[in-house]
Amino acid sequence: MPQIDGLYWESHGEGPPLILSAGLGGSGNYWLPNLPALAAEHRVILYDHRGTGRSDRALPETVTVEQMGDDILALIDGLGLGSATVIGHAAGGVAGLATALKAPDRIDRLVLVNAWSKLDPHFARCFEARLELLRHSGPRAYVRAQPLFLFPANWISEHAERLAAEDEHHLAHFAGAEAYEKRIAALAAFDIDAKLSQISAPTLALAAADDMLVPSNCSKRLAEGIIGAELALMDWGGHGCNVTDPDGFNARVLEFLGS
């Protein structure tokens, strides 16, 4: 498997480079519904976050979002890209923010999908609930509950068989309770709200109005704080709006990338 500094990666298409950074689960496969559209005119880099998937599972005692950003820089350097656009979902979005603060010349554009600049009381409560499930009911209960946070109720009902099959896949590749504890702690500690005006990359903050996990107000705050940032609000789709409505998501992102 191709790896750079312990990170599994794969490349699709040709053109300006896009690095797609997934959310808490960390798997590059999260972006498969969006890959054909994005790779039609771009070189798309998928990767598994450190501690998850096919990447190095070893994590330091304390994990930070800044370290997640350093992994994005390691990919840019290791692939000889010079700079790249980062499309990040939730955890991947905040990793992109950390990267843009540390190395602004390496980030061409930022697309922040249901991301945030600091801990919000609502998703703090969601994190706590998910951790309680993991600690006291185990990985299967954690995985089974995950769609409740990610997707709208009607979509879950309509895709029950698909989700059941994905449950088994996620369990077979489960990163482990310790990895989730460390990654959630890193996300909870992240706070760059006072530094948003320092981000210079052209930025799109994209949110779903019905996100059950991260309130859309978090994306509105990103758009307000980052100078020149655009806000795109999808009416429907939930936290995983790029999965539930890939066509709508892809259209908004490609319009921004072409602007």
**For position 1, what pLDDT does the model report?**
74
Chain-centre distance of CA 7, in angstroms?
16
What superfamily in CATH does domain 3-258 come from? Alpha/Beta hydrolase fold, catalytic domain (3.40.50.1820)
Q: Per residue of the chain (259 residues), give pLDDT as tens.
A: 799 999 999 999 999 999 999 999 999 999 999 999 999 999 999 999 999 999 999 999 999 999 999 999 999 999 999 999 999 999 999 999 999 999 999 999 999 999 999 999 999 999 999 999 999 999 999 999 999 999 999 999 999 999 999 999 999 999 999 999 999 999 999 999 999 999 999 999 999 999 999 999 999 999 999 999 999 999 999 999 999 999 999 999 999 999 6
**For position 259, what pLDDT does the model report?**
63
Residue 161, H or E segment? helix 160-172
**For position 224, what pLDDT does the model report?**
98
Spatial separation of the C-alpha atoms in residues 155 and 74, rounded to whole Å: 37
**For position 136, what pLDDT does the model report?**
97
Domain boundary assignment for the chain: 3-258
**DSSP letter, residue 176:** -
**For position 251, what pLDDT does the model report?**
98
Per-residue burial over 179-189, b if 16 or more Cβ lie within 10 Å, else e, is bbebbbebbee
Residue 78 phi, psi (nearest 5): -65, -30
Which pTM value belongs to this model? 0.97
**For position 77, what pLDDT does the model report?**
98
